[in-house]
Amino acid sequence: MDVGAKRILVTGGAGFLGSFLCERLVESGHEVLCLDNYFTGRRAKIAHLLDRPNFEVMRHDVCFPTHVEVDEIYNLACPASPVHYQHDPVQTTKTSVLGAINMLGLAKRTGAKLLHASTSEVYGDPAVHPQPEDYWGNVNPIGPRSCYDEGKRCAETLVFDYRRQHGMPVKVMRIFNTYGPRMNLDDGRVVSNFVVAALRGEPLQIHGGGKQTRSFCFVDDLIDGMIALMATPPDICGPINLGNPSEITVRSLAETVMRLTGGRSELRDTPALADDPRQRRPDIARAQKLLGWEPRVPLEQGLARTIEYFRRVLGNA
């Protein structure tokens, strides 16, 4: 192993974000262990890394302990789109909570630094806009999205309690909507839904009128922020919002996708989804100050690269 290289565990490493993170860490010369149970992750996303001598894959569920020796842990494992996390809500909560317990236990045993991937969903349907990290959120604890929202909130509690109780070096990032190549065709998130529908000539489903807002961060920018947070001194633990503060309505996003794809699909209004946030935009002042980070890829540029990826996937399907 190169001098300065670390042994790094990435849970959920065959997922959308995880595969880009593994790729970046491998290219930087680190020894990377990708752990995934392939519920939403896909081996194809990491296929180009399999012959690299500093990359290893383990099929494993974070709900069960794992015994490895590592210097850093990126805990990304959890289905992140409503379609997938509502498929088995009990398992989703287990993945967030038991996964955090097991990775924190591993970090405590090995002395590894741990970065936990949380979510903007901890803010729920926010009454404060944009959302700063000191906002406690407005979350329905018994709704259809609660398995994910409350599971992630509980995981954050565990991370900070391990820090307080054991003095562990931990980090928490709250990820806002992220998009890019390698999203699953059936991902269920709005960017992939719209792009795939437009390319197939199918109606784009606009839930609840489309006036709700989102802020979309391209995957390359998100990975930059994630690695920058892991590299910070022990006293910087977060939580830190990572996302793009540029806000757009869901209907405007659909219209932009149609224009960029050259599609002629119908924009079809459908009923609102339960507990769907009306607005979502990160306050990234903390990330700017502590990480020197902010997103660089404009939405249309990122969408063009995402559309190009899905054209290839659909052309080979």
- The CATH number that applies at residue 161 is 3.40.50.720
Q: Region 209-218: what's the mean pLDDT? A: 93
Q: Which pLDDT belongs to residue 23?
A: 98
Work out the average pLDDT over 199-226. Answer: 94
Q: At what angle do helices 219-230 and 16-27 cross, to 10 degrees?
A: 60
DSSP letter at 198 equals: H
- Judged against a pLDDT cut of 80, whether residue 317 lies above it is answered with no
Is 316 part of a structural domain of the chain? no
Count of domains observed in the chain? 1
Spatial contact of 148 and 94, defined as CB atoms under 8 Å apart? no
For residue 273, tell me if it sits in a domain.
no
Q: Alpha-carbon torsion 284, 82, 196, 74, what sign?
A: positive
Q: Is 148 one of the catalytic residues?
A: yes
- Give the mean model confidence (pLDDT) for residues 128-142: 95
Rounded to an integer, the average pLDDT of 23-44 is 96
Give 179's strand partners: 218
**Confidence tier at 20 by pLDDT (50, 70, 90):** very high
Q: Which residues pair with 138 in a beta bridge?
A: 124
Flag whether 277 is in a domain.
no
271 belongs to a structural domain: no
pLDDT of 299 reads 97
Q: Which DSSP string corresponds to 12-29?
A: TTTSHHHHHHHHHHHHTT
Residue 97's nearest CA partner among 121, 123, 77, 111 is 77
- Collapsing DSSP states into helix, strand and coil, what is residue 107? helix
- Which residues does residue 217 pair with via DSSP β-bridges, in sequence order? 178
Q: Is the pLDDT of residue 273 over 90?
A: no
pTM for this predicted structure: 0.94
Say if 102 falls within a structural domain: yes
Better-predicted residue by pLDDT, 118 or 279: 118
Residue 72, domain member (yes or no): yes
Residue among 74, 148, 162, 179 flagged as catalytic: 148
Instruction: Please check whether residue 286 lies inside any domain of the structure.
Output: yes
Q: Return the pLDDT at 83.
A: 77
- At 1, the pLDDT band (50, 70, 90 cuts) reads low
Q: Which three-class secondary structure string do you get for 255-302?
A: HHHHHHHCCCCCEEEECCCCCCCCCCCECCHHHHHHHCCCCCCCHHHH
Band the pLDDT of 69: cuts 50, 70, 90.
very high
Report d(CA 208, CA 313) in Å as an integer.
30
pLDDT of residue 202: 94
267 lies in a domain? Answer: no
Segments forming the whole domain that contains residue 121: 7-185+217-245+282-296
Quote the strand ranges of the chain, DSSP E. Answer: 7-11, 31-36, 55-59, 72-75, 113-119, 170-175, 178-179, 204-207, 213-215, 217-218, 240-242, 247-249, 267-270
| CA Rg value for the chain | 19
